[in-house]
Amino acid sequence: MLDTSARLLRLLSLLQTPRAWPGSELAERLGVSGRTVRNDIERLRELGYPVDATRGTTGGYRLGAGAAMPPLLLDDEEAVAVTIALRTAMQGAVPGTEETSLRALTKLEQVLPSRLRRRVRTLMAYTVAVPADRPVPAVSADVLTTLVSACRDQERLRFDYLDHAGSPTRRIVEPYRAVNWGRRWYLVAWDVEREDWRTFRIDRIQPCTPTGPRFAPREPPGGDVAAYVALQVSGAAWRHHARVTVHAPAAAVAERINPAVGTVEALDADTCVLVTGADTMQTLAVYLGMLDFDFDVTEPPELVTHLRGLAERYARSTGKRPLRWR
How far is residue 291's CA from residue 269's CA, in Å, rounded to a whole number? 18
Q: Given a cut of 50, is residue 241 above it in pLDDT? A: yes
Q: In which domain, by residue range, is 117 found?
A: 76-126
Of the candidates 150, 143, 159, 148, the one whose C-alpha atom is nearest the C-alpha of residue 94 is: 143
Cβ neighbors of 270 (< 8 A, separation 6 or more) are 247, 248, 249
Per-residue confidence (pLDDT) for residue 95, from 0 to 100: 61
Residues 171 and 223 in one domain: yes
Number of domains in the chain: 4
Of 234, 254, 271, at which residue does a domain stop? 234
Of the candidates 226, 228, 225, 209, the one whose C-alpha atom is nearest the C-alpha of residue 217 is: 225
Per-residue confidence (pLDDT) for residue 69, from 0 to 100: 57
Name residue 157's beta-bridge partners.
173
Q: Given a cut of 70, is residue 321 above it in pLDDT? A: no
Residue 86's alpha-carbon distances to 81, 127, 148, in angstroms, are 9, 13, 21
Read off the pLDDT of each residue in 45-61 and give the average, rounded to a whole number.
82
Instruction: Please give the angle made by the CA atoms of 302, 305 and 309, to the nearest 5 degrees.
Output: 140
If you ran DSSP here, which 8-state letter would residue 90 be given? T
* Percent of the chain's residues with pLDDT above 90: 25
Q: What is the pLDDT of residues 296-320, one digit of tens each?
A: 987 788 888 889 888 888 888 887 6
* Buried/exposed 155-168: b ≥16 CB within 10 Å, e otherwise: bbbebebeeeeeee
Of the candidates 121, 29, 34, 131, the one whose C-alpha atom is nearest the C-alpha of residue 79 is: 121
Tell me if 312 is assigned to some domain: yes
Residues 97 and 171 in one domain: no
**318 phi/psi in degrees, rounded to 5:** -100, 5
Per-residue confidence (pLDDT) for residue 1, from 0 to 100: 41
- For the full predicted model, state whether its pTM sits above 0.75: no
Residues 36 and 84 in one domain: no
Residues 86 and 26 in one domain: no
Tell me if 37 is assigned to some domain: yes
Choose from 100-109, 115-124, 150-159 the range with maximum mean pLDDT: 150-159
Residues 36 and 120 in one domain: no
**Residue 7 is part of a domain; what is its CATH number?**
1.10.10.10
The confidence band for 293, taking pLDDT boundaries of 50, 70 and 90, is very high
Tell me if 205 is assigned to some domain: yes
Read off the pLDDT of each residue in 160-182 and give the average, rounded to a whole number.
88
Q: SS3 for 244?
A: strand
Residues 207 and 267 in one domain: no
The confidence band for 196, taking pLDDT boundaries of 50, 70 and 90, is very high
Sign (positive/negative) of CA torsion 319, 320, 325, 326?
positive
Of 200, 218, 234, at which residue does a domain stop? 234
How far is residue 154's CA from residue 232's CA, in Å, rounded to a whole number? 23
Tell me if 299 is assigned to some domain: yes
Contact assessment for residue 310 and residue 285, using Cβ atoms and an 8 Å cutoff: yes
